[in-house]
Structure 1
Amino acid sequence: MTFVQLIDCKTSRFDEMNQLMDTWVEKTQGRRTATHSVIGKDRSDANHFVEIVEFPSYEEAMKNSNMPETEKIFQEMVALCDEMPTFTDLEVVRDDQLNAENVRRLFAAMGAPGELAPLDGLMAESYHDHDPANEQDTIGRDAIRREMEMWRGGFDFTFTIDDQITEGDRVCTRWTWNGTHTGDFRGIPASGKQISMTGTTIFRCGEDGKIVEGWWEYDRLGLMADLGALDAMGG
């Protein structure tokens, strides 16, 4: 179970403490067990800082604490604080990655049967799409909706999420697309063929969680070959 430690401290010597943390990271390279660390500064008190450190489990956190470098750095950190820092140990009982969830909802909506659901809760009105299959970027929520309708008109399809990685405001998704060619697609009449395609999409999310930009990479050449378009061009 994921374990999180909150370190609450007050210091007027944050720059020195920041350098101290860099030293600890360097000395424990390859052995530290923390997976994520965030330091925040109190907007109402410039000397008040909270560090949030995430570990895979409590046991891994203890391994981290028991390293000799950790004890040494802790003593030096205390000396830089205006008062004794406090520690809060938390077992994570719920972890909602809201940007990633919004992206999963978008992939589900794109392939859902029936009419395409409204996208205003998922995508910004000024959404900007980068797709190498298009000569120009698609800009605007209404424009990307028309792009989706073009795909939905040509195929009955679903996305399977294979991997998803979040970093800051970006969500990277590796996906598998399975479709049946049921309608005209870029001038190619319906063939009834069942086609599979893989790809990766990076979405950028705004502060409100809505998707504001996307970059697509997928096997378009393989798709067109499966549809017989390349054979027709060769002939």
Structure 2
Amino acid sequence: MTFVQLIDCRTSQFDRMNQLMDTWVEQTKGKRTATHGIIAKDRSDASHFIEIVEFPSYEDAMRNSNLPETDKIFQEMVALCDEMPTFTDLDVVRDERLHAATVRTLFETMGAPGELPPLDGLMAESYHDHDPANEQDTMGLDAIRREMEMWRGAFDFDFSIEDQITEGDRVCTRWTWSGTHTGDFMGIPASGKKVSMTGTTIFRCGENGKIAEGWWEYDRLGLMADLGALEGMAD
């Protein structure tokens, strides 16, 4: 279970404390077990700061605390605080990455059987799609829906999510697409062949949480080879 430690402190010397944190990061390189750190300032009190540090587990946090470098930095941090900082140890019981959940739902929706449902709850009306296989970017919700319908008309398919990484408003997804060729695709008549390809997509989510932009990279050449479209072509 992921473990989070909150460090609540007051200081009028934040710049020096910030430098101290940089020193700790450098000195514990290759030793620390912390995976994520955030320092936030109270909007109503400029001297009030909260540091949020994430660890894979409580045991990892304790190993981190027992590092000589951590103890030394802690003593220096206390000297910079206006009062003794407080620590709160938290076991994470729910970790919901909302942008990632939206993207997963979109991948599920694209491959769902039956009629394609409305996309306005997932994608922005002004959605902008970058696909190197298309001569021009696809602009707007109606246009990307037509693009999806083209794929759905040619294949019965679904996506398997292999990896997903979130950073700010971006979600990067590595996926495997598997399908059966059931309809015309770029002039290739339905063959009934089982095909697959891998790819990676980066989506940017807007302020309203909807997907606003996407960048695709996938093995379309491999797909065409599986469909027999490259047979007879010169090397």
1:233 Cα shift?
5.5
The separation in 2 between residues aligned to 1:22 and 1:185, in whole angstroms, is 55
User: What is the correspondence of 1:3-14 to structure 2 with a 5 Å cutoff?
Assistant: 3-14=3-14
> Are 1:176 and 2:176 matched, yes or no?
yes
The separation in 1 between residues aligned to 2:210 and 2:115, in whole angstroms, is 21
1:143 Cα shift?
1.2
1:128-150 CA distance string (max 9 Å, x none): 11111001111111111111111
Query: Which residue of structure 1 aligns with residue 98 of structure 2?
Result: 98
Query: Which residue of structure 2 aligns with residue 147 of structure 1?
Result: 147
Query: Which residue of structure 2 aligns with residue 86 of structure 1?
Result: 86
Letter in 1 for 2:110: M
CA-based RMSD: 1.2
Letter in 1 for 2:2: T
Distance change in 2, residues 1:6/1:60 (3 Å): same
Letter in 2 for 1:160: S
1:1-50 CA distance string (max 9 Å, x none): 11000111111211111100000000000000001111111122222111
TM-score (norm: length of structure 1): 0.96
Aligned residues: 234
Query: Which residue of structure 2 aligns with residue 112 of structure 1?
Result: 112
The separation in 2 between residues aligned to 1:68 and 1:233, in whole angstroms, is 65
1:231 Cα shift?
2.2
1:208 Cα shift?
2.7
User: What is the correspondence of 1:12-161 to structure 2 with a 5 Å cutoff?
Assistant: 12-161=12-161
Letter in 2 for 1:127: Y
The separation in 1 between residues aligned to 2:108 and 2:117, in whole angstroms, is 10
The separation in 1 between residues aligned to 2:119 and 2:223, in whole angstroms, is 26
Q: Which moved more, 1:59-68 or 1:197-206?
A: 197-206
The separation in 1 between residues aligned to 2:118 and 2:208, in whole angstroms, is 17
Give the SS at the match of 1:230.
Answer: coil
> Are 1:225 and 2:202 matched, yes or no?
no
Letter in 2 for 1:39: I
The separation in 2 between residues aligned to 1:207 and 1:45, in whole angstroms, is 27
Distance change in 2, residues 1:232/1:153 (3 Å): farther
1:209 Cα shift?
2.0
Give the SS at the match of 2:160.
Answer: strand
Query: Which residue of structure 2 aligns with residue 191 of structure 1?
Result: 191
The separation in 1 between residues aligned to 2:139 and 2:47, in whole angstroms, is 44
> Which residues of structure 1 form unaligned runs of 5+?
none
The separation in 2 between residues aligned to 1:126 and 1:16, in whole angstroms, is 44
Letter in 2 for 1:124: A
Identity of aligned residues (%): 83
1:32-81 CA distance string (max 9 Å, x none): 00011111111222221111100000000000001111111111111111
The separation in 1 between residues aligned to 2:11 and 2:4, in whole angstroms, is 22
1:106-136 CA distance string (max 9 Å, x none): 0000000011111111111111111110011
1:186 Cα shift?
1.6
1:232 Cα shift?
6.1
1:140-197 CA distance string (max 9 Å, x none): 1111111111100111100011111112221111111111111111222111111011
